[in-house]
C-alpha cells in the first residue's frame, strides 16, 4: 500500500512538470491550409460530370464509353488516378449473385484510392456512386404509395437486360461521391505526412442493400485490417427541404449506439474538430444509426465491427431522391463544399494524431478505480506510440457530450481526488507534440454475463 501511494505521488509530480509543455494552440495551420483547398468550383465540375452518365445504376450498361455505370466507374478511376502518384487507385471488384434487388449476376466494382500513411491503420472517406430511380421516388416510398406523383420509371421486363432508365443521382449520391473525389485530390496534393492511411472509397450497389460496402467491410474483417474510422457521406448536397425549410449551415452525423460505442466517439470527434476548423458550419451528432427506415453504407461497416458515421444533409427533398429529378439544379455546391470541409478537417486531424490509447486491463475491464482514498478517480491507460501527452475527458453519466477535459502530460495514469467514478463517464485521448488528438477511449466495461441462480428443490 505504501509503495502504491508513492507511485501515485510521482505520477502527480510528472503531470505538473509536463503540463507546461502542452501545445500553444489547438489548431494546426497545415490543416487550416488543407481545409482551405476544398474547392466549390471543383465540386461543381465533378457533380456536372457525374450527371452526364445519365444513370449509374449498378445494373445499367457497362459497354458505353459515355453513359451507364461502366463509363462512370472508369471515369472516377481515371480522375483520382490523375491527382497524385502517391494515390494508389484500384477497382475493388466482386461478382454479386442474383438476389433481392439484384436481378441478375453482376460484376460490381467499388473504386478505392489509398493514400498510405506511416501506419496501416485506416481512415475512410466515402460515398456511393451508384444511383437508382423508382416509381414515385422517395416521396412515394415515404407515403407508402409508389407512383403517387405520376412519374413512371420504366424498368426492363427482362431481368438480364441492363437498367438504363434515367437516374442521374446528382445528390444521391453524386454529392458524397464528388466530396470523396475532391478530398482525394486535396489530401494527396497536400504534401502532408499522415500517421494513418487514408482511403477514399466510392461504393457500388448501395441502392440494392449496401452490397459494395458490405463486401468490402467483410473482406477487411477477414483480412484483419484495422479501420479506425469511416466518414460516410450520402445525400449531403442539398440545403432546401422539400417542405421549403432551408438549412445550409449544418450537417447531421448519425452513429449507432450505445452511448460510448466507437461510432459515437467518432461522431464526437467529428463535432469537436470539424467545428474548430470550420466554425461557420454546425455539426449535429444524432444518437441513432440513421434516419427512420433509411440506411447507408456506414451501417455496413458497423455490422462488421468498425466505427463508422453517416453524414446527411439537414433538410432533405424527398421528391428528388431515387427519382429522375435528382439533377444538378437540386443541389447547392456552396453547402456541399462546407460539408466537404468538415470531413476534411475531421479526417486530417484524426489522421495526423496518434492512435487512441488502450484503457482495458488484462481481464478486458476498464482500467479505472477509486484509489488511493477510495473516493478518487484513478485512471490508467497504455502508452500510445507517438503520443507526448494525454487528455482526460469526463462528463456526468447522464448526457451525450464530454463536459470537461484536462491535458496531463506524458504519463499513463492520473488521479482526480474526491471525484466519483460512479457518477461520471471518463475517457482519455493521446496527443502528439503538435497537439493532434486521437479519438477518445472511454472507460466502459463490457456488460457482465448473467449467471442463472440455482434454485433448491
Ligand atoms: Zn444514397
What is the three-class DSSP state of 366?
A: strand
Does residue 52 come out as left (phi exceeding 0), alpha (psi in the -120 to 50 range) or beta? alpha
Cα(39) to ligand 1 centroid in Å equals 23
Query: Would you place residue 450 in the very low, low, confident or very high pLDDT band (cuts 50, 70, 90)?
Result: confident
Cα(130) to ligand 1 centroid in Å equals 8
Cα(305) to ligand 1 centroid in Å equals 21
Cα(230) to ligand 1 centroid in Å equals 16
Cα(295) to ligand 1 centroid in Å equals 8
Cα(399) to ligand 1 centroid in Å equals 31
Say if residue 1's pLDDT is above 50. no
The mean per-residue pLDDT over the stretch 274-288 comes to 98
Mean pLDDT over each residue of the chain, to the nearest integer = 93
Cα(78) to ligand 1 centroid in Å equals 23
Cα(233) to ligand 1 centroid in Å equals 8
What pLDDT, on a 0 to 100 scale, did the predictor assign at position 22? 54
**Adjacent-strand bridge partners of 113:** 89, 200
Q: What whole-number percentage of the chain has pLDDT above 90? A: 86
Cα(207) to ligand 1 centroid in Å equals 7
Angle at 349 between CA 343 and CA 355, to 5 degrees: 120
What pLDDT, on a 0 to 100 scale, did the predictor assign at position 135? 86
Residue 260: which residues within 8 A CB-CB, separation 6 or more?
Answer: 425, 427, 442, 444
Which of 191-195, 346-350, 405-409, 448-452 has the weakest average pLDDT?
Answer: 448-452
Task: Render pLDDT for 129-167 as a digit per residue (tens, 0 to 9).
Answer: 999 999 888 877 787 655 445 566 878 888 899 999 999
Angle at 182 between CA 50 and CA 191, to 5 degrees: 155
| Contact yes or no for 437/431 (Cβ under 8 A) | yes
Beta-strand (E) ranges in 33-192? 88-96, 106-115, 122-128
Say if residue 446's pLDDT is above 90. no
What pLDDT, on a 0 to 100 scale, did the predictor assign at position 145? 52
Cα(33) to ligand 1 centroid in Å equals 30
Cα(108) to ligand 1 centroid in Å equals 16
| Contact yes or no for 402/268 (Cβ under 8 A) | yes
What pLDDT, on a 0 to 100 scale, did the predictor assign at position 234? 98
What pLDDT, on a 0 to 100 scale, did the predictor assign at position 50? 98
Cα(87) to ligand 1 centroid in Å equals 25
Cα(260) to ligand 1 centroid in Å equals 27
Cα(391) to ligand 1 centroid in Å equals 37
What pLDDT, on a 0 to 100 scale, did the predictor assign at position 447? 78
What pLDDT, on a 0 to 100 scale, did the predictor assign at position 151? 66
Cell numbers found for residue 174:
453524386
Cα(318) to ligand 1 centroid in Å equals 12
Cα(204) to ligand 1 centroid in Å equals 10
Query: Would you place residue 396 in the very low, low, confident or very high pLDDT band (cuts 50, 70, 90)?
Result: very high
| Contact yes or no for 96/243 (Cβ under 8 A) | no
Task: Render pLDDT for 22-44 as a digit per residue (tens, 0 to 9).
Answer: 555 789 999 999 999 999 999 99
pTM: 0.93
Cα(236) to ligand 1 centroid in Å equals 9
What pLDDT, on a 0 to 100 scale, did the predictor assign at position 23? 56
What pLDDT, on a 0 to 100 scale, did the predictor assign at position 163? 94
What pLDDT, on a 0 to 100 scale, did the predictor assign at position 445? 82
Q: For the beta carbon of residue 289, count every other beta carbon within 10 angstroms.
A: 19
Cα(234) to ligand 1 centroid in Å equals 5
Cα(410) to ligand 1 centroid in Å equals 44
Cα(374) to ligand 1 centroid in Å equals 52
What is the three-class DSSP state of 269?
A: helix
Cα(196) to ligand 1 centroid in Å equals 27
**Adjacent-strand bridge partners of 391:** 407, 429
What pLDDT, on a 0 to 100 scale, did the predictor assign at position 2? 35
Cell numbers found for residue 119:
501506419
Cα(134) to ligand 1 centroid in Å equals 13
Amino acid at each position: 500500500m505504501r509503495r502504491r501511494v508513492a507511485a501515485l505521488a510521482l505520477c502527480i509530480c510528472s503531470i505538473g512538470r509536463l503540463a507546461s509543455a502542452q501545445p500553444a494552440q489547438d489548431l494546426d495551420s497545415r490543416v487550416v491550409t488543407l481545409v482551405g483547398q476544398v474547392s466549390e468550383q471543383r465540386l461543381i465540375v465533378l457533380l456536372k460530370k457525374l450527371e452526364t452518365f445519365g444513370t449509374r445504376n449498378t445494373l445499367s450498361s457497362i459497354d458505353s464509353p459515355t453513359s451507364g455505370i461502366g463509363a462512370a466507374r472508369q471515369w472516377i478511376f481515371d480522375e483520382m488516378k490523375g491527382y497524385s502518384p502517391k494515390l494508389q487507385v484500384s477497382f475493388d471488384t466482386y461478382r454479386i449473385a442474383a438476389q433481392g434487388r439484384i436481378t441478375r449476376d453482376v460484376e460490381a466494382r467499388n473504386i478505392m484510392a489509398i493514400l498510405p500513411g506511416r501506419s496501416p491503420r485506416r481512415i475512410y472517406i466515402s460515398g456511393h456512386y451508384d444511383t437508382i430511380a423508382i416509381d414515385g421516388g422517395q416521396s412515394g416510398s415515404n407515403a407508402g404509395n409508389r407512383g403517387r406523383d405520376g412519374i413512371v420509371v420504366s424498368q426492363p421486363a427482362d431481368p438480364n437486360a441492363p437498367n438504363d432508365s434515367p437516374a442521374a443521382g446528382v445528390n444521391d449520391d453524386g454529392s458524397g461521391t464528388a466530396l470523396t473525389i475532391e478530398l482525394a485530390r486535396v489530401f494527396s496534393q497536400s504534401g502532408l505526412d499522415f500517421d494513418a492511411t487514408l482511403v477514399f472509397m466510392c461504393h457500388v450497389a448501395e441502392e440494392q442493400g449496401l452490397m459494395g460496402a458490405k463486401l468490402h467491410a467483410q473482406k477487411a474483417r477477414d483480412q484483419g485490417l484495422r479501420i479506425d474510422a469511416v466518414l460516410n457521406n450520402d445525400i449531403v448536397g442539398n440545403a432546401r427541404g422539400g417542405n421549403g425549410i432551408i438549412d445550409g449551415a449544418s450537417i447531421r452525423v448519425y452513429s449507432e449506439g450505445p452511448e460510448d460505442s466507437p461510432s459515437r466517439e467518432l461522431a464526437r470527434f467529428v463535432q469537436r474538430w470539424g467545428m474548430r476548423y470550420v466554425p461557420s458550419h454546425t455539426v449535429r451528432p444524432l444518437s441513432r444509426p440513421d434516419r427512420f427506415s433509411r440506411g447507408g453504407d456506414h451501417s455496413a461497416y458497423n455490422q462488421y465491427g468498425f466505427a463508422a458515421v453517416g453524414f446527411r444533409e439537414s433538410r432533405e427533398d424527398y421528391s428528388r431522391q431515387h427519382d429522375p429529378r435528382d439533377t444538378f439544379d437540386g443541389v447547392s455546391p456552396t453547402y456541399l463544399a462546407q460539408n466537404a470541409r468538415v470531413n476534411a478537417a475531421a479526417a486530417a486531424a484524426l489522421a495526423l494524431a496518434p492512435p487512441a490509447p488502450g484503457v482495458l486491463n488484462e481481464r478486458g475491464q476498464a482500467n479505472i478505480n477509486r484509489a488511493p482514498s477510495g473516493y478518487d478517480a484513478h485512471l490508467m491507460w497504455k502508452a500510445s506510440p507517438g503520443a507526448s501527452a494525454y487528455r482526460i475527458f469526463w462528463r456526468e453519466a447522464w448526457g451525450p457530450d464530454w463536459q470537461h477535459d484536462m491535458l496531463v502530460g506524458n504519463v499513463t495514469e492520473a488521479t482526480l481526488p474526491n471525484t466519483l467514478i460512479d457518477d461520471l463517464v471518463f475517457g482519455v485521448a493521446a496527443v502528439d507534440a503538435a497537439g493532434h488528438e486521437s479519438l477518445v477511449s472511454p472507460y466502459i466495461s463490457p456488460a457482465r454475463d448473467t449467471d442463472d441462480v440455482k434454485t433448491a428443490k
